[in-house]
Amino acid sequence: MSKQIAFTIFFLAAIGVFGYTISRLRRFFKLTKKDFPLDNIPERIRQTLLVAFGQTKILRRPMIGLMHAFVWWGFLVITIGTAEMMVDGLVGTERFLGKILGPVYTAIMASGDVLAAFIVFACISFLARRYVIKVKRFSGVEMTPTANLDATVALLMILFLMVSLLGMNIAYVKLAGAEKVGVYPVSESLQGLVANIGGSTVAKLHELSWWTHIVLVLVFMNILPYSKHFHVFMSVPNVFFTRLGPYTKLRNMESVTKEVKAMLDPSATIEPQAADAPIPRFGVKDVEDVNWKNYADSLTCTQCGRCTSVCPANTTGKLLSPRKILVDLRHRMNDKGPGLSRDPQYTDGKALVGDYITQEELWACTTCNACVQECPVNIDHVSLIVDMRRSLVMEDSSAPESLVAMFTNIENNGAPWQFSPSDRMRWADDLFSNKAS
Amino acid sequence: MAEMTAAGEQPEILFWVGCAGAFDDRYKKVTRAFVKILDALGVKYAVLGTEESCTGDPARRAGNEFLFQMQAMGNITVLNGYGIKKIVTACPHCFNTLKNEYPDLGGTYEVIHHSTYLQQLIDEGKLRVSDGKPFKGRRITFHDSCYLGRGNNIYDAPRNVLEQLDADLVEMKRSRSRGLCCGAGGAQMFKEAERGDKEVNVERTEEALATGCQIVATACPFCMTMMEDGTKHFNKEDQVKVYDLAELIATANDL
């Protein structure tokens, strides 16, 4: 009973902190623009099944992709067991799902036990990739010591979560004996470890493992939203909210369409704006200009760096790093969001474009969409980059000179180069003379 | 197009030449090659000529949405005025804009890239490569255009067209959805690159040269410029030529 009370208090505290975090994020989301369509739900479900649950994009790098996929699928089955532990802890039951689910329970426990052992191996490998092999894409300007610490903490926590789970299973197998519910292939094969230890000590090991696991779960859950590893929560919804359609299709700016139509057709009526209505800004200059999907992208990014590792600008030494764009957006919201949610007019004299992301980065993008193609969780870097260019050009009239010349040529000649529109058929000169002869 | 309309006729296809196709000296050859193929097959096509204007693609990617929409609405007025249904273009940037972005502004057409169109003509048995096969056994590598491949999932059509040449087709290390950009998309064509260690087209050309190819096949005017500049960078322009699909097919058919 005391265990139940202790657990309930701890559980409620953890939920409370989590609730605070979520309400903070909700306030941040409220600062973003609404204009992102949620059409074509069947296609969204398909994307979620393939990309999120099926891991199709992370598997584009087969070896490491498969390791991640097993960690993720392991997470899914182990989470069922964790939920069971929480109910057990609150209600005072023991492995209550076992009686309800029967053979399904056996499958869940068996796969969870095997995958937990695999995840221990995977976490050690992932740590080795960071600290021994030093995989190139884990470095970069945006990969600050804090960002790297973030990754290490997440990996260590997952590692200890699995070790404690296995410890609990090993102890359980010995304690339960013939009464055992479920099958635990790894823990059963590791019985040698507890063979010479007395029953009461094993019972203590079980309690210790149980508490370690559940405390880590609840602590981890509360660290995640402040860590790059928030992708544990965000990935599935983010994939569901994918920007659908061809990668190279940019979304139309309806606000511009209205003005262009008015320019082309003087008789068109323009709806009068309320006097106190805020003047909308074209494109993205700061964090309040992004839409909620851009912000969700920034929370989902786990800084794997696959985007940056395929970026033609980055790999040829330019400043642009698609990952940094998302990391910067998230930082900017953390810096400006609290002030902005108290006062819509709040300013700290800084902006996302200029103080966090430089023009030089933005102008280096070739819009090739290699980053979008590789992102395992369907983040859309390119639309955001173009949106930031839109504010540079349409709000600040700030573009490289040669691009301004290109604009002028299009305006005057209908071509990006300085040629006369009357020369448009010159390519056919030879053809026609050939035909005539 | 105006002449055809005056004569009360409708073309099978409107060939959207694009600014590079009309003004870039190198790329004009591609325009001519494609037109020769159309003529040889007796396809009833039209061009807008002086009524065509930039689709607005580079303006939009460079952030000038106003200019893009002005261009788009102007072009849509012309296209709709002629009742155009089907457009073929050799430029993946024009293709992407006409196909994917004009519908948002009231211009909906069947838009086909020339690689797909050539493949259709081959599949229908209309387009054949003559027996001479000047490219037989020659090593050709195809460079994917981002706006064709990743952007619009067109990977097979250009390769299928190249297969007609009976050449030795080789892939670069990074190809199809993993293809490396030539460096010119997103309005980069019209500006200097930002400072870095290397030009993107040099990196890509290195990869193409590593295949030991004699020909780099492209299906995009910007890619063509970038890859040609790349071969010049390595002083290989005499050994390694850059050709568009349409040029290869036209040459193979002695057009």
Residue with tokens 């819009």: A367
Are A286 and A345 within 8 A, CB to CB? no
- Cβ separation of A319 and B194 shorter than 8 Å? yes
pLDDT level of residue A432 (50, 70, 90 thresholds): low
Are B115 and B30 within 8 A, CB to CB? no
For CA atoms B60, B112, A432, B2, the dihedral sign is negative
Cβ count within 10 A of residue A380: 21
pLDDT of residue A413: 94
Are A76 and A107 within 8 A, CB to CB? no
- Closest residue to B28, CB basis, from A246, A407, A427: A427
- For residue A221, report the phi and psi dihedrals to the nearest 5 degrees: -55, -35
Distance CA B121, CA B10 (A): 20
Residues of A in contact with B73 (CB under 8 A): 260-261, 264
The set of residues, in sequence order, having a beta carbon less than 8 Å from that of B24 and lying 6+ positions away, is A417, B221, B225
Distance CA A111, CA B195 (A): 52
Are B37 and B250 within 8 A, CB to CB? yes
The distance from CA B105 to its chain's CA centroid, rounded to whole angstroms, is: 24
Distance CA A155, CA A228 (A): 12
Distance CA B116, CA B128 (A): 15
Confidence check: pLDDT of A434 > 60: no
Residue with tokens 């529109």: A421
Q: How far is A96 from chain B (nearest CA, A)?
A: 48
The fraction of chain A above a pLDDT of 70, given in percent, is 96
- For residue B45, report the phi and psi dihedrals to the nearest 5 degrees: -125, 165
Count CA atoms within 13 Å of residue B95 on its CB side: 24
For B45, the 3-state DSSP assignment is strand
Helix boundaries (H) for A145-184:
145-176
pLDDT of residue A263: 83
pLDDT of residue A276: 62
Assess B255–A contact: CB distance below 8 Å, yes or no: no
Residues of B in contact with A308 (CB under 8 A): none
- Cβ separation of A316 and B189 shorter than 8 Å? no
Q: Mutation test of the interface with chain A: which of B64, B202, B244, choosing the one with the most A Cβ atoms within 10 A?
A: B64
What average pLDDT does range A280-305 have in this prediction? 96
Q: What is the mean pLDDT of chain A?
A: 93
The one-letter code for the residue type at A37 is P
Confidence check: pLDDT of B130 > 80: no
What average pLDDT does range A230-255 have in this prediction? 96
Is A135 exposed, middle or buried, given 0-12, 13-18 or 19+ CB atoms closer than 10 A? middle
- Closest residue to B65, CB basis, from A318, A372, A394: A394
What average pLDDT does range A351-358 have in this prediction? 97
Distance CA A155, CA B26 (A): 55
Highest-scoring range by mean pLDDT, A2-6, A139-143, A374-378: A374-378
What average pLDDT does range B162-176 have in this prediction? 95
Confidence check: pLDDT of A360 > 60: yes
Is A144 exposed, middle or buried, given 0-12, 13-18 or 19+ CB atoms closer than 10 A? exposed
- Nearest Cα residue in chain B from A253: B65
pLDDT level of residue A199 (50, 70, 90 thresholds): confident
pLDDT of residue A436: 36
Return the DSSP state at B168.
E
Are A117 and A189 within 8 A, CB to CB? no
pLDDT tens profile B97-115: 999 999 999 999 999 999 9
What average pLDDT does range A384-396 have in this prediction? 97
Residue A150, phi-psi category: left (phi > 0), alpha (psi -120 to 50), beta (remainder): alpha
Are A308 and A302 within 8 A, CB to CB? no
For A282, the 3-state DSSP assignment is coil
pLDDT level of residue B118 (50, 70, 90 thresholds): very high
Distance CA A399, CA B63 (A): 9
Are B16 and B88 within 8 A, CB to CB? yes
- Closest residue to B105, CB basis, from A246, A252, A422: A252
Confidence check: pLDDT of A437 > 50: no
pLDDT of residue A99: 85
Confidence check: pLDDT of A163 > 60: yes
Distance CA A115, CA A67 (A): 11
pLDDT of residue A3: 85
Confidence check: pLDDT of A269 > 70: no
Least confident of A280-284, B24-28, B173-177: A280-284
pLDDT of residue B7: 82
The fraction of chain A above a pLDDT of 90, given in percent, is 87
Selection from A427, A140, B195 nearest residue A148 by Cα: A140
Cβ count within 10 A of residue A107: 14
Distance CA B55, CA A415 (A): 9
pLDDT level of residue B8 (50, 70, 90 thresholds): confident
Distance CA A278, CA A280 (A): 6
The distance from CA A214 to its chain's CA centroid, rounded to whole angstroms, is: 25
Residues of B in contact with A430 (CB under 8 A): 32
Residue with tokens 């989301």: A29
The distance from CA A21 to its chain's CA centroid, rounded to whole angstroms, is: 17
Helix boundaries (H) for A92-224:
96-101, 103-131, 145-176, 185-189, 199-223
Distance CA B130, CA B252 (A): 7
Please report, in angstroms and rounded to a whole number, the separation of the first and last CA atoms in chain B.
24
Q: Which two tokens stand for residue B82?
A: 């002629």
Least confident of A63-77, A109-123, A320-334, B122-136: B122-136
- Cβ separation of B146 and A411 shorter than 8 Å? no
Distance CA A287, CA A353 (A): 9
Q: Which two tokens stand for residue B160?
A: 């299928």
